[in-house]
Each structure stands twice: as C-alpha cells, then as structure tokens.
Chains A and B, each alone.
Chain A
Amino acid sequence: MVYTPHTAAERQEMLARIGVEALEDLFADVPQRYRYPDLNLPPPASEMEILGELQELAQANLNANSVPTFLGAGAYRHWVPAVVDYVISRGEFATAYTPYQAEVSQGTLQAIFEYQSLICDLTGMPVANASHYDGATATAEAVIQAYNVFRRKRRKVLIAPTVHPHYREVVRAYTQGMELTITGDESLSTTPADLAAQVGDKTACVIVQSPNFLGQLEALDDLADAIHAQDPDTLLAVATNPISLGLLKPPGAYDADIVMGEGQPLGLGLNYGGPYLGFYATRTDYLRQLAGRLVGQTADAEGRRGYVTTLTTREQHIRRERATSNICTNQGLMALAATAYLATLGKQGLQQIAALNYHKAHYAAQAIDALEGFSVSDERPFFNEFVVACPAPVAEINQALLDGVYSDTPILGGYDLAQDYPDLADQMLVAVTEMNSRAEIDAFAAALAAFERDQRSRR
C-alpha cells in the first residue's frame, strides 16, 4: 500500500515464519465483534490529488504575507531567513527522535546546547531549558516551578492583567487541581507595582509581561525590590518578546527569577498558531525545580567534548508521579529554527531587526496619532506594538480595511482588544515589524483616515 514495502511473497514468507496463515490471525486477541469496523473516510488520494486538495484549502485562507498586515497580539509576522528552513529541513534533524542515544545524537544535543546558550545570552539569565510548547505553557510552567520552589506550601500567584489573555487562561487550566489562588488580573488598571504591594509570605510568584499584551514596556526597574520588600523569597517571572531583547535591557538585568515567552518571532512562520516555541530561563538555584529537558556538556571516554541530556532525575520517565512536570518532548525542531535564526542574524543582525521594529512602529504610531479621530496612548513606552483609540468598533474598521475600501490592496488590520477587555472597546492593538514597508504604513494610515472621513460624512 502507500508506505508498506512488502511484496505478497515476502508477506507469506514472514507469516510462515511467525506460524500464522493470514494477517488477521495476528489480531486473534482483539474481540472479533470489534475487529475491522467500517471507517467512513474519504477514499485514498494520490500525492497529486492531495497536493491539489490542500492547495485549494490553503488558498481559501488569506495569506498574511501577501497583504499589508498589522496584526500581532502574541504572534508576529517576521522575516524568516532562507537558512532557517534549510537547516530544519535536513532529514538528519527532522526525522530523529529525542536524543536518547547520545552517541548518535550529537547534532541534536549540541544544537540544543547552543539554543540554551543563546536564550541565556538574550534573556540575561544563567540557565535555559530545551524549551516548552509555547509562551503560554512556559508561563504555566513558571507558576508550577514557583509552587515547587516553596514545596507546594505557597498557594498565591499574582498575575498582571496585561499578560497575554491566552497565557492567563493556560495558567489557570494547568493549575486547576493545585488549589492555587490566582489573582491580580481582575482590573486592567492594576500595575505591576500594585501587584508588588499585594505580595505576602504566602505568595509564590508574581507574573508580568514586558512588552505586555498591549505592547507597553512595564516599569521593571524597581519591581523586584518592591516585591522583595514585601517578602524576600517571592519569585518574579517575566514574559517577554525575544526580538525586543535585541534592543532592550533583558529581564535578567531587572533581577527576574524566571524569564519566559513565545519564541515564534525567532524565525518561525505564523502557521496559523503553531507549532511555536516556549523559551524558558531561570536562576541556577532553581535547577532542581526546573521542568523540561536540559542538555549539558561532558566528555567521552577519550576526553572528547560531547553533550548529553542531564539532570534527568527531575523528569517523568525517571521520577514518574514525583516529576517536576509531565513534559516529555521539547519543541526540538522549533528550537533548532530559533538557533539557526539567532546564529544567522547574529549580534548585529538582531540589533538591526529590533531597531527596524522599534522605529517603524513609532513612525506608524506617530502617523496614526496625527489622524483625526484616532489617538495613540503615550502613557508607557512601547516596542513594536501599540494601542490605537479608534472612532468606531475595531471589527467594523477591520472589515473595511480587509475589503480594500480605502486602499489598493486588502489590509489586515490590528487586533480588536474588546475581545478580551470590555473596557477597551474601540481600541485596536497595532503591530509593526520589519516586514512593514514605509509605503504599507502610509497606506494603512491613509485608509484609517479615509474611514474616519467617510464615517464623519455619514453622520
């Protein structure tokens, strides 16, 4: 059939060797009344047919790379250097499994070691793991790490309302059996400093995000001190955007205990939301409470440098119900993509990309703020994403932009914040990256202006 290679003669030879007559005899222990149910699946497609079918489905989507796009909110359209897909397409990487046999997995293991090193470099932290599934699960693992650091005795977790809504939902879903009290995000006006003031000796950790979900850079300067003034042991976990770290001080410089986030901007396509990459870094003190795989450097019997998965006694396959997490895999190939991305851009390249994001976003913010009916808050500094107060519901504006009513091509507008924050009706979260040319930004601003003029004339 499709990928089973045996000929009829070979099959007969094998069955004879086993001592049965037919393939069905191999399933004698499956109760007969359940054997071979009818499956209502479409008939098999050839390679040509499936490619045609999927091309049709793919074309039924709007490709955000084919139109000016200002949508972010946790997933960003960035340039992916050609080298990245070349590296992750190598069968030696893509079709290998978790490096259980270190001697024939040195490629995977060294690449993970390099990934861990690069994440440490970026975040300003001493230890990084081999990755989690995405930014949301990395945030949940930060809460669980803090819970374990205090031997499951501290049950209070403070989380900022400006942490990505999906991350907050995942934290709650992951920990629903742990009897934690997770608070702090009831009102959008609660700042990280307000959270610090609520810290007590039962608080396991404080979770903030910077740049936060609204694009703003949080005041991290005295945050760790303010937390520790309330309780010296409470952990500070900071979610961040890795591209912003090409320009901005890393959370490690602000005394964070855990730094995590969504690694998708590091060379991963949008892919309708996944697979992405949860990067995760912490202090050496917490190595034993850290979840996920870790690769360490060692030497072989002849003194040659090599790499192995290490400190595995934390993990499920050894410790079972006493493991730090149930995580089994990391996001191997996605971590490799991020490694190739950071390597090929390097120090100067990432600085330049970060600068492009920063300056283009500020150019766009200025242009939009100058428009009648629109305003951009200057309450907090931002990196590549900002909130625009609009003269109409965002969904209505976005529909007009998508229909190309006010531009030569359809425009994919920003994120409608009313979906998550009832207080933020008519507020659009706009993301600008190195992919947005000046012409695109100008066209976007012009379309917004035209929308507003049209709306005014209709009134």
Chain B
Amino acid sequence: MSTPLEPLIHELSVPGRQGTPVPELDVPKAALPEGLVRDALPLPEVSEIDVVRHFLRLSQLNYAIDQGIYPLGSCTMKYNPKINEQTARLPGFVGAHPHQPVGTVQGALRLMYDLQTYLAEISGFAAVTVQPAAGAQGELVGVLMMRKYLLDRGETQRDTILVPDSAHGTNPASTSMTGLRVVQLPSDERGNTDLDALRSEVCERIIGIMITNPNTLGLFEEHIEEISEIVHGCGGLVYGDGANLNALVGVMHPADVGIDVMHFNLHKTFSTPHGGGGPGAGPVGVAEHLVDYLPDPVVRMTPGADGAPATYGFHHPPHSIGRVRSFWGHFGMLVRAYTYIRMHGAAGLRDVAEHAVLNANYLRSRVKEAYHVPFERICKHEFVAEGSFEGVEDVGAMEICKRLIDHGVHPPTMYFPLIVHDALMIEPTETESLRSLDHYADILLEIAEEAERDPDLLRQAPHNAPVRRLDEVGAARNPILRYEPEAEED
C-alpha cells in the first residue's frame, strides 16, 4: 500500500503531547462524582502546529469555488462574497446567546425580521420563517404545513403528494417522512410536467404537488399556472422547491403563479458558503392561508408608539406545526444572506438571475456542438447534456466527469435528473466570466475528441487528481467508518 496523502490526526498523535494550552484552575477542587468518571479518553495528542499543518494540507486536497468554476447543477455554486464572512463574525452577532432576554438582542431580531420581509418581498409570499436549517428541512416544514392545514379543515382522506419524475430526491423523502404517499408524475416531450398525467392523478386524496420551477432540466415549467389551477381545483396545495430560484430572483414572484409554499436555499441563491456540505439554511415562504401554520416561533415587529423605535420579539403562530430545530435558525447564515441581499437591492438581484441564465445559455450553445442536449429550448440557470458518445463504449457521465478533474475543473452533477440518460447537469452561475465559461466549454469539447481518439484516457481518469478512482463498492461492502489502530498494522 502506498503512503497516504496525509496521515489521520490520530496517526500524528504522540502520547503526552499537549495541544493548545488551557488555563489553570482558579478555584478549589470539588470531589468528583463517585463511579461516574471515565477511565480513558482516547483522543489524539498533537501540538497546535501539527493541527494547523494537518488541516492546511487537507484543505489543499479539495477543490472549491475559490479555486475555479464549480458548475454543479442544482447546487448554485456561485462566488461566496468575503464581506459576508466579515459581517457574520461581528462580535455582537457571534457572542449573542440564544436565550438572552429579547430586549438585549434587538439587533439580531431586527436582522431576522428584515430578512423575513426581504424574502417575502422577493418571492411575493405573505410571510416567511427563517427557522429551517436546510432546504430539505424547509421541504419537511412545507409538507407538514400543507398536511396540517388540510387536516384542520377536516379533509382527513388526503394522504398523497404528487412529485414529478425530475424532482430532487429530497422531495419524495420529505414527503414520506410525514407519513404521506408519493405518486410520481412523468415529464412530457418538452421537459414539462405531463398535464394529462397530472389530470388523471388529481383526486380527493391529493394533499398537493411538489414542483421545482425551473425544473431540474433547467427548463421553465411552461404550464405552471395550469398545474396550480388543476391542483387547487381538487382542493390541494402547491409546494415550490426553491432550489432553482437563482434563475428567477428579481424576475418573477413564485407566489404569482399559484405556489402556496416554497423554501429558499440561502446557500444557493443568496451566496452563503456550502462549507463542504453545510450548514445551509432553508427559509420557507407561505401564502396568506398558511401563515398561522408556520414553525414556532417567527419574529414579529411591534411599531413604537409616539415616535419610539420599533421593537422585535417572538410570535407563536396559532396553528403552528411546531418547532423543527432548537433555538431560532442558522443565524450566522442569515447574516450572510442579509448582507448579500442588501448589497444587491432589487435591480442587483434581477441582474443575478439574468446573468445566471445568460451564462447557462451561452455555455449550452457551446457544449451542444459536441454533446446531445435534449429539449431544444432556451434554458434557465442550468441545462442537462447527455454524457455519452455514439459508437464509444463504456464512456458515460462518470468518465467525462473524472476526465474534467484531470483538466483542473470541477465536474457537473452527474446521473441527475434520472430522466436523462447519462445526465450531466451544468449550472455555471452568474459569477463566472466569459473567459471561465469558454475555458470550461473548450475542455468539454476536447474531452469529446479524446473520447473518440483515446477512450481509455477517460475510462482510467482521473490521472492528475490527488487520488485515482476510489473503490466505492469495497467501501460499502466492508465499511471502515472510523480510525481503528489495529487496522493500521498491515
């Protein structure tokens, strides 16, 4: 076995080594609780510089937006402004305890209230909660509210949510977490939800539909208003998956086309960093009839009397689905998103969507020279290409993606949506320059040539990454999920 790229922190441990020093005890010692004290604490023993170098070296094994284009479809990997990091770290935010009396956290509450208001303004909804921790949790919140709203109206027979086959996997998963049934809807030949299939599925059992607009093919749902009418016509509600809001922010109010409830991904549209997989934040907007069902609590403003300043506090919606996380939300992420919205204003947000769509269509126009791009339409913020070439065996989306790594850029989302064969889902975002887009297109075209000329180059890729292709089957068959000292002795 060759040398690992970087030892595990446990492997750097030397018994007796002290890390960052801890202050001395300045009070008398108390008796320890009998029988409750642990014998051994098997943590690593390393010095502070060991830690710094270890994590610095690990960081260098990553690819990140700060290094280059990261066109992962449906993830909106846009530039994360550095000012956001500065504002989120202001001492008055970092040091606020979530249980402080509301009178001592008026700044934090005002920020949350203003963000609720801005998001409502951007989406056209009546009210917004900033409590949900991530988009998936926002979906759960949305489905729970739809369910409870209909239950409270005595419609106990409703138990089904319709989900198009192009939907994110979280949509059906969130639905089944609420105990509801999922019925999948096919897409039509233009990439829209199939209206006939929808008409044949709607009935008195329907709680509603979860719809992503633009959908995961990057296409605007052309019948969105009809979909809303059909679902509302049978007494159901429409959930909007806001993952793709970057295409429409400032261009359209999602609420205008009949969406009753929608989550926002602050880590997508509103530039908060993805952090290697979190923390995200998934605020939820609702139309008027669902306002009383929002998670508990929401922030409310009380205007001051006789010129006194307004005050901010918590409000408990009377029919709330309850609380979905401790405290009030991913506050640090809210500060970043607030910063982003305030720096853009209305025109700036519209500019974001327009350039996200411009960039996607430009890249699409170049990529389709060598790749089949189904659905000949203007796309929105992303598009899906087929990652295969006629007459070239054993080269698919995976091989193309691994070869992109060799060329020094990040691959797109692969094999999703499921309805396109060997899908490559490409979302460049508005923050990429023309040069960056051309560079990416040039690489994709070159890979298409490589596939014809030397397909093994793709099959064996990556060649230039920190590691070669990793054995995922072996990892799942024989799971090693933690450091085990014994396992190291080969």
Contacts and interface: CB of A to CB of B under 8 A. Distances in A.
B35 A221 contact: yes
Contacts of A434: 22-23
A2 B344 contact: yes
Interface stretch (A15-23, A184-192, A226-234): A15-23
Nearest to B89: A85
B293 to A, nearest CB: 12
A275 B61 contact: no
A389 to B, nearest CB: 20
B232 interface: no
A229 B77 CA distance: 53
B91 A65 contact: yes
Contact of B176 (A51, A322, A358): A322
Interface residues of B, number: 201
A362 B30 contact: yes
Contacts of A331: 275, 278-279
Given A5-B434, A73-B99, A107-B61, 14 more contacts: A10-B433, A14-B361, A23-B358, A26-B357, A75-B99, A89-B85, A95-B64, A103-B470, A104-B405, A104-B465, A274-B327, A296-B480, A310-B479, A359-B30
Given A81-B20, A343-B44, A100 B413 contact: yes
16 contacts: A2-B348, A30-B220, A44-B344, A55-B90, A60-B110, A74-B99, A98-B277, A272-B98, A272-B327, A272-B328, A296-B481, A304-B4, A308-B475, A326-B170, A333-B276, A336-B275
Contacts of B156: none
B93 A272 contact: yes
Contact of A4 (B89, B280, B355, B467): B355
B256 A59 contact: no
Contacts of A94: 64, 66, 80, 85, 273, 275-276
B470 to A, nearest CB: 5
Interface in A16-59: 17-20, 23, 25-31, 34-47, 50-51, 53-59
Contact of A137 (B38, B94, B148, B324): B324
B331 A39 contact: no
B403 to A, nearest CB: 11
Nearest to B98: A273
A14 B362 contact: yes
A117 B483 contact: yes
Interface stretch (A168-176, A197-205, A369-377, A448-456): A168-176
A35 B346 CA distance: 13
B55 A3 contact: no
A77 B96 CA distance: 10
A26 B61 contact: no
A342 interface: yes
B212 interface: no
Contacts of A43: 345
A264 B275 CA distance: 16
B250 A60 contact: no
B37 A249 contact: yes
A434 B9 CA distance: 25
Contact of B2 (A64, A136, A304): A304
A298 B41 contact: no
Contact of B58 (A4, A107, A306, A334): A107
Interface residues of B: mostly helix, strand, loop or mixed?
loop
A176 B482 contact: no
A325 B173 contact: yes
A108 interface: yes
Nearest to B461: A103
Nearest to A56: B107
Contact of A340 (B55, B271, B357): B55
A146 interface: no
Nearest 4 A/B pairs, CB to CB: A273-B327, A58-B92, A60-B107, A177-B179
A190 B23 CA distance: 39
Interface string A84-127: 01111111111111111111111110110110111011100011
A73 B326 CA distance: 11
B10 interface: yes
Contacts of A298: 470-472, 474-475, 480
Given A2-B343, A113-B8, A350 B97 contact: no
Contacts of A36: 250-252, 350
A351 B96 contact: no
A280 interface: no
B157 interface: no
B279 A54 contact: no
Contacts of B98: 74-75, 270, 272-274
Given A73-B99, A97-B276, A305 B1 contact: yes
Given A5-B431, A83-B51, A349 B327 contact: no
B29 interface: yes
Contacts of A135: 326
Interface string B78-90: 1111010111011
A354 to B, nearest CB: 9
A69 interface: yes
A346 interface: yes
B201 interface: no
B256 A34 contact: yes
Contact of A62 (B70, B96, B321): B96
Interface string A428-443: 0000001001100100
